Structure 1
């Protein structure tokens, strides 16, 4: 008999994407599913759409408190042997849950399994789309490997429910934007994390998360997360030098992203912070020099440059 898989879907003003999201979940070849939608205080038609699915879907509502609190409420209500997470604007391919359950059941210990991810620029634009995050390396992942780069997209995750007995998303609002990465690292400290090398998750890229305020909040959340996990990182033989290098990377990455968004003065600040740690990085030097060009020259480059110099800003927190 197939095990029950509980699917937790947090929502907030997701009326435009939720129907396609839930439909992709209910279309799984693994049919023993418990779908729990947790609405985090939406003001649009999200709850009405969620309830329109009827029996297969349980809808919970709460006051707005952020994605971590919504996911944690969903976890507490789960009854399945496995728990999967789904963001309300993402999609699953039909065999995702079936393939992940097979990998999770073959593991000797309660484990987390994540899949390859493909990105799309919006509803109806799935094929063709570039591969977004495909991991290559040791399996299962080590804490140090995951700390170096967050390979895991939340909508690609399925794990045994025992993994979440005493590990939940951090609801600290100052870590919002990095709460998923924070949890994966804490899980990696105790449980194996396996990568299923198949693209089974579709991640929607939208511009809404790339405003200056959102990017700065994500930057601060990641820094707070690294401070919080420093003692745990030391137990995995990551030194203060490793932590300082991570801060260098954060400043460089966010500096480049702000430059790409046209926030030149903000980009200068982040790139300056990165240079204070190290000048020996070609991309840092390149973008640092570009920030000193007059706006007329930058505008000319925007018109003629076809590279990613002024490209879209995608998934910052997922790459750090």
Structure 2
């Protein structure tokens, strides 16, 4: 039932551990597809060791979104699961999710809780990072609360929304979950079945500066290209306005006047196209008691 897609670039040691964690799944023997995104270290040699147990697709360096999409296109099964090459699964991960989806046949996507390891030490997520479930569009706007390594998604849904946006070099997961979450309910297995390991020097959060510009792009695309309900438009415009304010003001302080001015004007342009105003959006959207939708992700 499940095809697992692992994108990798120059992580020979880590990807071996990731593959072993998939091979060690209890009760399920998934299809494993590793997309080698232009590695020039020992990754290809490591992948050869697994023979027919792993399908390896090698491509020129195109980024993680293209690698995930390529793996999904090659998948044989109706359900997709993604695993980043630096993360691990506990042995019950796929079995627990499969059982959960059988109990909830109305769902087309679900995720699990995670164990966070930062620079080799366990870190407890704060309340603001608590994973949502159900129709949770407003919370998905706040920050990226769905992890690719924790997701199982019906292949038909992934294809219907167009997969990961290969034109966005970072925050591509934030973009995808918004395109799914405005319309679809997201399930949650409340067990930490994924070990999410951070602190690597090649992580996108460390190598790509000013990540909020890509969240701004995702929100702009969502507002302009998705038939959101009116209250969803208000909420999305509210978050969009604040992110543009923070990022645009930062550009002005650093002397990037043209970029800052353009970003600060974006919410007004988009609101006018939608027949709304930023002021109306703030009034309609309101603020939550504990976490404002204006929180920076």
1:228 correspondence with 2:225: no
Counterpart for residue 237 of structure 2: 243
TM-score (norm 2): 0.75
Counterpart for residue 30 of structure 2: 33
1:136 is displaced (CA, Å) by 5.7
Counterpart for residue 184 of structure 1: 177
Q: Distance in 1 between matches of 2:186 and 2:242?
A: 27
Q: Give me the CA root mean square deviation.
A: 3.4
Contact 2:80 2:155 in 1 (8 A): yes
Contact 2:35 2:68 in 1 (8 A): yes
Q: Distance in 2 between matches of 1:255 and 1:93?
A: 43
State which of 43, 48, 52 in structure 2 corresponds to 1:46.
43
Q: Distance in 1 between matches of 2:129 and 2:99?
A: 20
1:162 is displaced (CA, Å) by 2.3
State which of 81, 89, 113 in structure 1 corresponds to 2:86.
89
Unpaired runs of 5+ residues, structure 1, are 257-264, 278-318
3-state SS of the aligned residue for 1:215? coil
1:47 is displaced (CA, Å) by 1.5
Instruction: Out of 58-67 and 146-155, give the one that drifted further.
Output: 146-155
Counterpart for residue 146 of structure 1: 140
1:44 is displaced (CA, Å) by 0.8
State which of 208, 219, 234 in structure 2 corresponds to 1:214.
208
Measured at CA, do residues 83 and 239 of structure 1 come closer, stay the same or move farther in structure 2, by a change above 3 Å? Answer: closer
Q: Distance in 1 between matches of 2:158 and 2:194?
A: 22
Q: Distance in 2 between matches of 1:38 and 1:212?
A: 22
1:85 is displaced (CA, Å) by 0.3
1:15 correspondence with 2:17: no
Measured at CA, do residues 68 and 211 of structure 1 come closer, stay the same or move farther in structure 2, by a change above 3 Å? Answer: closer
Q: Distance in 2 between matches of 1:239 and 1:13?
A: 40
Measured at CA, do residues 247 and 201 of structure 1 come closer, stay the same or move farther in structure 2, by a change above 3 Å? Answer: farther
Contact 1:113 1:157 in 2 (8 A): yes
Unpaired runs of 5+ residues, structure 2, are 258-262, 265-277, 279-295
Contact 2:111 2:151 in 1 (8 A): yes
Q: Distance in 2 between matches of 1:250 and 1:157?
A: 29
Counterpart for residue 160 of structure 1: 154
Contact 1:8 1:83 in 2 (8 A): yes
Q: Distance in 2 between matches of 1:41 and 1:31?
A: 30
Q: Distance in 1 between matches of 2:241 and 2:183?
A: 25
